[in-house]
Amino acid sequence: MADLKGRTAVITGSTSGIGLGIAEGLAESGVDVVINGLGDAGEIQAISQRLEDQYGVRAPVIDADLTDGQAAQQLIRDAEQALGQVDIVVNNAGVQHVSPVEDFPDDKWEKIISLVLSAGFHTTKAALPGMKSRGYGRIVNIASAHGLVASPYKAAYVAAKHGIVGFTKTVALEIAEEPDLTINAICPAYVRTPLVEGQIADQAKAHNMNEEQVIRDVILAAQPNKRFVTIEELVALTRLLCGHEGRSFNGAAIPMDGGWTAR
Ligand code: NAD
C-alpha cells in the first residue's frame, strides 16, 4: 500500500507469530516498525536487522514487559523517541491459559487481563495525543473470535478479549470526529502460530489423540471452513485498516473466522 510508506508503527508481541507477520507486512509496505516482545535477545536483534536490510526501513527493538502498565506507556514514549512519532499501534501481545474456572490460578488471571486487556488501554492512552496532533492515527487491536463468543476453560482470555472489543468501541466514539483517526479490533479464529502449536500438543496429550485428530475435532471444531486463518490474511486486513481506504472502519470488531461466529 503506497499510502503507508513512511508511516511509523509499534507492534506489540512482534517477536513471534501474528505480531511478527504484521511487523514484516508493514515493513514491506515501507513502514518503520518497532519490534517488541519476549525471547532470546540475539534472535530478536536478528529479526530487526533482517527487516531493516530487506525492506530499507527502521526496525528498532524496544523491550517492555506489557503486563506492567507503566512499561506499556513507556514503550510508546520510547518509540516516539526512536522514530520521531507513532502513527500506528497494533496491540497484539497475548498469552493463553486453559483451566476450569475454579482451578484457574490467580496469577494467570491477573497476567492475562493485564497483557491482553490493560496493555491496550495504556498504549492507546499514550499514543493518542500525538496521533490527534498530527491528524492521522490507527490503532488495531488483535482481539479474537473469543472477543465475540466464548469457549469453556478460557475464562481470563475470553474476558480480556471481550474487554478489548468493548474498549475499542468506546475509544472509537471518543475519537470519531477526529479527521483521520480510527481504532478497530480484528477477531481471528485459529492461526497456526507457536501459541496454537502449544495448544495442539496439550490437547493431543489430554485427549490421547494424534495431532491431525486434534486439529480437526478439537481446535477447528467450531470453525465451519475447517482451516486455519493465515498470517497473510491478517496482514492484508491490517494494511487495509491502516490505509486511507480504511478510514471509515471505526469501532468495528471484524470477524476473520471462516464462519465461526455466524453460528
Ligand atoms: P505467539 O505466542 O506466537 O506470540 C505472542 C507474542 O506476545 C510474542 O512476541 C511474545 O513474546 C509476546 N508477549 C508475550 N508476553 C508478553 C509480555 N509480557 N510483554 C510483551 N510481549 C509479550 O502468539 P500469536 O498466536 O501470534 O498471538 C498473537 C495475538 O493474536 C494474541 O493476542 C492472541 O491472543 C491473538 N490471537 C491468536 C490466535 C491464534 O490462533 N494464534 C487467534 C486469535 C487471536
Hey, what's the cell of 38? 519476549
Residue 33 per-residue DSSP state: E
Hey, what's the cell of 135? 491528524
Instruction: Report yes or no: 49 and 26 within 8 Å, Cβ to Cβ.
Output: no
User: Cα of 200 to ligand 1 centre, how many Å?
Assistant: 16
Ligand 1 probe mutation, 193, 203, 218, 235, most atoms within 8 A of CB: 193
Distances (CA, A) of 223 to 10, 220, 226: 30, 5, 5
93 and 68 inside one domain: yes
Domain assignment present for 53: yes
Domain assignment present for 96: yes
Residue-level pLDDT at 178? 96
Going by alpha carbons, the residue nearest to atom 6 of ligand 1 is 13
Report d(CA 188, CA 24) in Å as an integer.
19
39 and 146 inside one domain: yes
Residue 2's identity, in one-letter code, is: A
Tell me which residue of 62, 60, 58 sits closest to 30, measured CA to CA: 58
User: Cα of 146 to ligand 1 centre, how many Å?
Assistant: 14
Going by alpha carbons, the residue nearest to atom 8 of ligand 1 is 13
Q: What is the DSSP string of 103-162?
A: G--HHHHHHHIIIIIIHHHHHHHHHHHHHHHHT-EEEEEE--GGGTS--TT-HHHHHHHH
Domain assignment present for 262: no
Ligand 1 probe mutation, 38, 74, 254, most atoms within 8 A of CB: 38
Q: Which domain holds residue 219?
A: 191-228
Indicate yes or no: pTM above 0.85: yes
159 and 211 inside one domain: no
Going by alpha carbons, the residue nearest to atom 23 of ligand 1 is 195
Report d(CA 13, CA 63) in Å as an integer.
10
Residue-level pLDDT at 112? 98
**Which atom belonging to ligand 1 lies closest to the Cα atom of 14?**
9
182 and 207 inside one domain: no
166 and 208 inside one domain: no
85 and 210 inside one domain: no
Ligand 1 probe mutation, 61, 63, 95, most atoms within 8 A of CB: 95
210 and 239 inside one domain: no
Residue count of the chain? 263
Q: pLDDT (tens digit, 0 to 9) for every residue of the chain, 263 residues total?
A: 559 999 999 999 999 999 999 999 999 999 999 999 999 999 999 999 999 999 999 999 999 999 999 999 999 999 999 999 999 999 999 999 999 999 999 999 999 999 999 999 999 999 999 999 999 999 999 999 999 999 999 999 999 999 999 999 999 999 999 999 999 999 999 999 998 998 899 889 888 999 999 999 999 999 999 999 999 999 999 999 999 999 999 999 999 999 999 99
Q: What are the φ/ψ torsions at residue 253 (nearest 5 degrees)? A: -115, 100
Going by alpha carbons, the residue nearest to atom 41 of ligand 1 is 191
Report d(CA 237, CA 213) in Å as an integer.
30
Tell me which residue of 106, 165, 127, 182 sits closest to 12, measured CA to CA: 127
Domain assignment present for 263: no
Residue-level pLDDT at 226? 94
The set of catalytic residues is 157
Report d(CA 61, CA 48) in Å as an integer.
7
124 and 251 inside one domain: yes
Residue-level pLDDT at 206? 86
208 and 234 inside one domain: no
- Cα 68–chain centre separation: 17
Report d(CA 44, CA 37) in Å as an integer.
8
102 and 199 inside one domain: no
Residue-level pLDDT at 1? 56
Query: Is residue 11 packed enough to be buried (19+ CB in 10 Å), middle (13-18) or exposed (0-12)?
Result: buried
Ligand 1 site, CB within 6 A: 12-13, 15-19, 37-39, 65-67, 92-95, 115-116, 142, 144, 188, 190-191, 193-196
User: Cα of 140 to ligand 1 centre, how many Å?
Assistant: 14
90 and 160 inside one domain: yes
Residue-level pLDDT at 143? 98
Residue-level pLDDT at 2? 59
Report d(CA 137, CA 128) in Å as an integer.
8
Domain of 162, CATH number, reads: 3.40.50.720
220 and 236 inside one domain: no
Please state at what angle helix 17-28 crosses helix 41-55, rounded to 10 degrees. Answer: 20
Number of domains the chain is built from: 2
Residue 247 per-residue DSSP state: T
Q: What are the φ/ψ torsions at residue 56 (nearest 5 degrees)? A: 65, 30
Q: 3-state class of 254 per DSSP? A: strand
